[in-house]
Amino acid sequence: MDSADVLKKVRKIEIKARGLSQNIFAGQYHSAFKGRGMAFSEVREYQFGDDVRDIDWNVTARFHRPYVKVFEEERELTVMLLVDVSGSLDFGTTKQMKRDMAAEIAATIAFSAIQNNDKIGVIFFSDRIEKYIPPKKGRKHILYIIREMLSFEPQSQKTDVGMAMAYLTRVMKRRCTSFVISDFYDRKNFSQEMQIANRKHDVVAVQVYDPRAKMLPDVGLLKVRDAETGYELYIDTSSKKLRLAHTRYWMEHQSELSHTFAKGHIDWISIATNEDFVKSMMMLFRQRA
Protein backbone atom coordinates (compact mmCIF):
# COMPACT_ATOMS: atom_id res chain seq x y z
CA MET A 1 0.00 0.00 0.00
CA ASP A 2 1.59 3.30 -1.08
CA SER A 3 1.52 6.44 1.08
CA ALA A 4 -1.37 8.04 -0.86
CA ASP A 5 -3.54 4.93 -0.30
CA VAL A 6 -2.59 4.84 3.38
CA LEU A 7 -3.54 8.53 3.83
CA LYS A 8 -6.86 7.96 2.04
CA LYS A 9 -7.60 5.00 4.29
CA VAL A 10 -6.52 6.91 7.42
CA ARG A 11 -8.92 9.74 6.52
CA LYS A 12 -11.77 7.28 5.87
CA ILE A 13 -11.21 5.54 9.22
CA GLU A 14 -10.91 8.90 11.00
CA ILE A 15 -14.28 10.12 9.67
CA LYS A 16 -16.03 6.87 10.67
CA ALA A 17 -14.30 6.51 14.06
CA ARG A 18 -14.81 10.15 15.07
CA GLY A 19 -18.49 9.96 14.14
CA LEU A 20 -18.98 6.80 16.18
CA SER A 21 -17.06 8.09 19.18
CA GLN A 22 -18.88 11.44 19.22
CA ASN A 23 -22.41 10.22 18.54
CA ILE A 24 -22.50 6.76 20.06
CA PHE A 25 -19.59 5.81 22.27
CA ALA A 26 -18.69 8.96 24.23
CA GLY A 27 -21.22 8.60 27.07
CA GLN A 28 -21.02 4.80 27.19
CA TYR A 29 -17.21 4.88 27.24
CA HIS A 30 -17.22 7.44 30.08
CA SER A 31 -19.40 5.29 32.33
CA ALA A 32 -17.78 1.97 31.34
CA PHE A 33 -14.20 2.99 32.12
CA LYS A 34 -13.75 4.66 35.47
CA GLY A 35 -11.00 7.03 36.52
CA ARG A 36 -8.12 6.26 38.89
CA GLY A 37 -9.89 7.40 42.05
CA MET A 38 -10.77 10.62 43.85
CA ALA A 39 -8.95 13.91 43.41
CA PHE A 40 -9.13 17.06 45.58
CA SER A 41 -11.46 19.68 44.07
CA GLU A 42 -12.17 22.50 46.58
CA VAL A 43 -13.04 23.37 50.19
CA ARG A 44 -16.45 24.43 51.48
CA GLU A 45 -18.08 25.05 54.84
CA TYR A 46 -18.91 21.99 56.89
CA GLN A 47 -22.54 20.81 56.55
CA PHE A 48 -24.44 18.43 58.79
CA GLY A 49 -23.68 14.85 57.74
CA ASP A 50 -20.20 15.56 56.28
CA ASP A 51 -17.46 13.11 57.22
CA VAL A 52 -15.30 14.68 59.96
CA ARG A 53 -12.26 12.99 58.38
CA ASP A 54 -12.63 15.42 55.44
CA ILE A 55 -12.19 18.52 57.63
CA ASP A 56 -9.39 20.78 56.42
CA TRP A 57 -7.88 21.87 59.74
CA ASN A 58 -5.68 24.62 58.24
CA VAL A 59 -8.63 26.40 56.58
CA THR A 60 -10.81 25.75 59.65
CA ALA A 61 -8.20 27.44 61.92
CA ARG A 62 -7.93 30.40 59.56
CA PHE A 63 -11.70 31.12 59.39
CA HIS A 64 -12.60 29.91 62.92
CA ARG A 65 -15.36 27.67 61.61
CA PRO A 66 -15.18 24.13 60.10
CA TYR A 67 -14.39 23.61 56.41
CA VAL A 68 -14.22 20.28 54.55
CA LYS A 69 -12.26 19.15 51.52
CA VAL A 70 -14.42 18.22 48.52
CA PHE A 71 -13.23 15.42 46.26
CA GLU A 72 -14.37 14.43 42.80
CA GLU A 73 -13.69 11.44 40.59
CA GLU A 74 -10.35 11.73 38.81
CA ARG A 75 -11.49 10.94 35.29
CA GLU A 76 -8.28 10.97 33.29
CA LEU A 77 -7.28 7.50 32.17
CA THR A 78 -4.38 6.02 30.30
CA VAL A 79 -5.63 3.67 27.58
CA MET A 80 -3.31 1.14 25.97
CA LEU A 81 -4.16 -0.66 22.74
CA LEU A 82 -2.36 -4.00 22.34
CA VAL A 83 -2.73 -4.71 18.61
CA ASP A 84 -1.86 -8.10 17.11
CA VAL A 85 0.10 -7.55 13.86
CA SER A 86 0.93 -11.23 13.18
CA GLY A 87 0.39 -12.89 9.80
CA SER A 88 -3.01 -14.39 10.62
CA LEU A 89 -4.57 -10.89 10.73
CA ASP A 90 -3.86 -10.48 6.99
CA PHE A 91 -6.85 -12.61 6.08
CA GLY A 92 -10.38 -11.85 4.98
CA THR A 93 -13.04 -13.56 2.88
CA THR A 94 -15.77 -10.92 3.29
CA LYS A 95 -15.79 -7.13 2.98
CA GLN A 96 -12.53 -6.58 4.88
CA MET A 97 -9.48 -8.22 6.39
CA LYS A 98 -9.13 -8.83 10.12
CA ARG A 99 -6.33 -6.24 10.21
CA ASP A 100 -8.65 -3.55 8.77
CA MET A 101 -11.37 -4.28 11.31
CA ALA A 102 -8.81 -4.25 14.14
CA ALA A 103 -7.65 -0.79 12.94
CA GLU A 104 -11.24 0.55 12.88
CA ILE A 105 -12.00 -0.75 16.37
CA ALA A 106 -8.72 0.63 17.75
CA ALA A 107 -9.35 4.02 16.10
CA THR A 108 -12.87 4.25 17.54
CA ILE A 109 -11.60 3.45 21.04
CA ALA A 110 -8.80 6.01 20.57
CA PHE A 111 -11.18 8.82 19.53
CA SER A 112 -13.54 7.94 22.42
CA ALA A 113 -10.55 8.18 24.76
CA ILE A 114 -9.49 11.66 23.66
CA GLN A 115 -13.12 12.87 23.87
CA ASN A 116 -12.76 12.07 27.58
CA ASN A 117 -9.33 13.72 27.81
CA ASP A 118 -7.57 10.37 28.22
CA LYS A 119 -4.09 9.45 27.00
CA ILE A 120 -3.72 6.68 24.42
CA GLY A 121 -0.76 4.46 23.64
CA VAL A 122 -0.14 1.34 21.53
CA ILE A 123 1.83 -1.88 21.67
CA PHE A 124 2.10 -3.71 18.32
CA PHE A 125 2.94 -7.35 18.91
CA SER A 126 3.55 -10.63 17.07
CA ASP A 127 5.66 -13.17 18.96
CA ARG A 128 7.80 -10.16 19.93
CA ILE A 129 7.16 -6.51 20.73
CA GLU A 130 7.18 -4.97 17.26
CA LYS A 131 6.62 -1.36 18.33
CA TYR A 132 5.72 0.61 21.45
CA ILE A 133 4.08 4.05 21.10
CA PRO A 134 3.94 5.75 24.55
CA PRO A 135 0.59 7.22 25.70
CA LYS A 136 -0.16 10.80 24.63
CA LYS A 137 -3.20 12.98 23.97
CA GLY A 138 -4.46 14.63 20.80
CA ARG A 139 -5.81 14.03 17.31
CA LYS A 140 -2.36 14.23 15.69
CA HIS A 141 -1.15 11.39 17.92
CA ILE A 142 -4.20 9.23 17.04
CA LEU A 143 -3.74 9.79 13.30
CA TYR A 144 -0.12 8.67 13.67
CA ILE A 145 -1.34 5.51 15.47
CA ILE A 146 -3.91 4.72 12.73
CA ARG A 147 -1.31 5.29 10.00
CA GLU A 148 1.07 2.90 11.75
CA MET A 149 -1.67 0.27 12.13
CA LEU A 150 -2.41 0.35 8.41
CA SER A 151 1.15 0.41 7.09
CA PHE A 152 3.20 -1.37 9.74
CA GLU A 153 5.32 -4.28 8.50
CA PRO A 154 6.05 -6.74 11.35
CA GLN A 155 9.36 -8.54 11.71
CA SER A 156 7.61 -11.80 12.61
CA GLN A 157 4.44 -13.53 11.40
CA LYS A 158 3.82 -15.53 14.58
CA THR A 159 1.79 -14.74 17.74
CA ASP A 160 2.60 -14.68 21.45
CA VAL A 161 -0.17 -13.01 23.46
CA GLY A 162 1.39 -13.96 26.81
CA MET A 163 4.63 -12.16 25.94
CA ALA A 164 2.65 -9.00 25.02
CA MET A 165 0.73 -9.13 28.33
CA ALA A 166 3.97 -9.57 30.32
CA TYR A 167 5.43 -6.53 28.49
CA LEU A 168 2.34 -4.45 29.36
CA THR A 169 2.71 -5.41 33.04
CA ARG A 170 6.38 -4.41 32.95
CA VAL A 171 6.26 -1.18 30.92
CA MET A 172 3.13 0.46 32.39
CA LYS A 173 3.95 1.51 35.94
CA ARG A 174 0.56 3.04 36.73
CA ARG A 175 -2.82 1.37 36.29
CA CYS A 176 -4.28 1.67 32.79
CA THR A 177 -7.20 0.36 30.76
CA SER A 178 -5.90 -1.92 28.01
CA PHE A 179 -7.68 -3.37 25.00
CA VAL A 180 -6.08 -6.49 23.48
CA ILE A 181 -7.21 -6.67 19.83
CA SER A 182 -6.34 -10.01 18.24
CA ASP A 183 -7.75 -13.16 16.65
CA PHE A 184 -6.10 -15.03 19.57
CA TYR A 185 -4.61 -17.75 17.37
CA ASP A 186 -1.79 -18.58 19.72
CA ARG A 187 -0.24 -22.01 20.12
CA LYS A 188 0.90 -21.13 23.66
CA ASN A 189 -1.26 -20.78 26.73
CA PHE A 190 -1.41 -17.12 27.84
CA SER A 191 -3.82 -17.53 30.77
CA GLN A 192 -1.31 -16.76 33.55
CA GLU A 193 0.11 -13.61 31.89
CA MET A 194 -3.46 -12.35 31.29
CA GLN A 195 -4.39 -12.86 34.94
CA ILE A 196 -1.25 -11.08 36.20
CA ALA A 197 -1.83 -8.13 33.81
CA ASN A 198 -5.48 -7.84 34.83
CA ARG A 199 -4.55 -7.67 38.53
CA LYS A 200 -2.46 -4.56 37.85
CA HIS A 201 -4.50 -3.07 34.97
CA ASP A 202 -8.03 -3.23 33.57
CA VAL A 203 -7.73 -5.65 30.62
CA VAL A 204 -10.42 -6.03 27.94
CA ALA A 205 -10.10 -8.59 25.11
CA VAL A 206 -11.50 -7.94 21.62
CA GLN A 207 -11.38 -10.94 19.29
CA VAL A 208 -11.69 -10.32 15.54
CA TYR A 209 -12.30 -13.33 13.30
CA ASP A 210 -13.29 -14.24 9.76
CA PRO A 211 -16.61 -16.14 9.39
CA ARG A 212 -14.75 -18.87 7.47
CA ALA A 213 -12.97 -19.73 10.72
CA LYS A 214 -16.33 -20.87 12.07
CA MET A 215 -17.76 -22.57 9.00
CA LEU A 216 -16.20 -23.77 5.74
CA PRO A 217 -18.25 -23.45 2.53
CA ASP A 218 -18.65 -26.44 0.21
CA VAL A 219 -16.51 -25.24 -2.74
CA GLY A 220 -14.59 -28.40 -3.60
CA LEU A 221 -10.79 -28.57 -3.55
CA LEU A 222 -9.24 -25.58 -1.81
CA LYS A 223 -5.63 -24.55 -1.29
CA VAL A 224 -5.05 -23.15 2.20
CA ARG A 225 -1.98 -21.56 3.74
CA ASP A 226 -1.05 -20.97 7.37
CA ALA A 227 -0.13 -17.25 7.40
CA GLU A 228 2.09 -17.68 10.47
CA THR A 229 4.12 -20.72 9.36
CA GLY A 230 3.78 -20.54 5.55
CA TYR A 231 2.63 -24.20 5.47
CA GLU A 232 0.33 -24.95 2.49
CA LEU A 233 -2.01 -27.84 1.73
CA TYR A 234 -5.10 -28.74 -0.29
CA ILE A 235 -8.33 -29.62 1.48
CA ASP A 236 -11.54 -31.08 0.05
CA THR A 237 -14.33 -28.84 1.33
CA SER A 238 -16.98 -31.08 -0.28
CA SER A 239 -16.27 -33.56 2.56
CA LYS A 240 -18.96 -33.11 5.21
CA LYS A 241 -16.70 -34.83 7.74
CA LEU A 242 -13.95 -32.22 7.15
CA ARG A 243 -16.39 -29.31 7.42
CA LEU A 244 -17.77 -30.67 10.71
CA ALA A 245 -14.23 -31.18 12.08
CA HIS A 246 -13.40 -27.56 11.11
CA THR A 247 -16.47 -26.24 12.99
CA ARG A 248 -15.70 -28.48 15.98
CA TYR A 249 -12.13 -27.10 16.13
CA TRP A 250 -13.54 -23.54 16.14
CA MET A 251 -15.95 -24.34 18.96
CA GLU A 252 -13.18 -25.93 21.04
CA HIS A 253 -10.95 -22.91 20.44
CA GLN A 254 -13.72 -20.51 21.53
CA SER A 255 -14.52 -22.61 24.60
CA GLU A 256 -10.83 -22.53 25.60
CA LEU A 257 -10.70 -18.75 25.10
CA SER A 258 -13.86 -18.27 27.14
CA HIS A 259 -12.38 -20.34 29.96
CA THR A 260 -9.11 -18.34 29.87
CA PHE A 261 -10.92 -14.99 30.08
CA ALA A 262 -13.36 -16.17 32.76
CA LYS A 263 -10.46 -17.46 34.89
CA GLY A 264 -8.72 -14.08 34.64
CA HIS A 265 -11.99 -12.09 35.20
CA ILE A 266 -11.47 -10.40 31.83
CA ASP A 267 -14.33 -8.88 29.83
CA TRP A 268 -14.26 -9.92 26.19
CA ILE A 269 -16.18 -9.76 22.93
CA SER A 270 -15.88 -11.68 19.67
CA ILE A 271 -16.59 -9.87 16.36
CA ALA A 272 -16.68 -11.32 12.82
CA THR A 273 -15.36 -9.24 9.91
CA ASN A 274 -18.80 -9.29 8.24
CA GLU A 275 -20.50 -7.88 11.37
CA ASP A 276 -21.04 -4.32 12.55
CA PHE A 277 -18.60 -4.00 15.46
CA VAL A 278 -20.58 -1.08 16.93
CA LYS A 279 -23.31 -3.34 18.34
CA SER A 280 -20.78 -5.63 20.07
CA MET A 281 -18.77 -2.73 21.50
CA MET A 282 -21.93 -1.06 22.85
CA MET A 283 -22.93 -4.32 24.51
CA LEU A 284 -19.49 -4.54 26.14
CA PHE A 285 -19.67 -0.93 27.37
CA ARG A 286 -23.17 -1.44 28.82
CA GLN A 287 -22.07 -4.58 30.69
CA ARG A 288 -19.30 -2.60 32.37
CA ALA A 289 -21.30 0.54 33.17
Out of 20-24, 172-176, 268-272, least confident range:
20-24
Q: Is the pLDDT of residue 271 over 60?
A: yes
Residue-level length of the chain = 289
Question: What are the start-end ranges of the E strands in 183-244?
Answer: 202-209, 221-225, 232-236
Averaged pLDDT, 275-287: 81
Out of 31-40, 60-69, 181-190, 230-239, least confident range:
31-40
Averaged pLDDT, 92-112: 81
pLDDT at 168: 97
Averaged pLDDT, 112-123: 86
pLDDT band for position 276 (50/70/90)?
A: confident
Q: What's the CA gap between 54 and 126, in Å, rounded?
A: 49
Q: What's the CA gap between 258 and 47, in Å, rounded?
A: 50
| Structure-model confidence comparison of residues 83 and 278, the more confident one | 83
pLDDT at 199: 93
Domains of the chain: 3-33+76-288 (3.40.50.410), 37-74 (no CATH)
pLDDT at 215: 75
Q: Is the pLDDT of residue 113 over 70?
A: yes
Residues in Cβ contact with 3 at an 8 Å cutoff, skipping those fewer than 6 apart: 151
Q: What's the CA gap between 236 and 151, in Å, rounded?
A: 35
Taking all residues of the chain, what is their mean pLDDT, rounded to a whole number? 82
Please give the DSSP secondary-structure letter assigned to residue 116.
T
- What confidence tens digit (pLDDT) does each residue in 74-99 have? 556 889 999 999 988 776 566 778 88
**CB atoms inside a 10 Å sphere around CB 58:** 9
Answer whether 134's CB lies under 8 Å from 121's CB. yes
Q: Which amino acid is at 77?
A: L
Q: Is the pLDDT of residue 281 over 80?
A: yes
- What confidence tens digit (pLDDT) does each residue in 171-196 have? 998 889 999 999 998 988 999 999 99
pLDDT band for position 32 (50/70/90)?
A: low
- What confidence tens digit (pLDDT) does each residue in 126-158 have? 999 999 999 998 888 988 988 888 888 889 989
**CB atoms inside a 10 Å sphere around CB 153:** 6
Q: Is the pLDDT of residue 28 over 80?
A: no
Averaged pLDDT, 186-208: 93
pLDDT band for position 236 (50/70/90)?
A: low
Residues in Cβ contact with 267 at an 8 Å cutoff, skipping those fewer than 6 apart: 204, 205, 261, 284, 287, 288
pLDDT at 284: 80
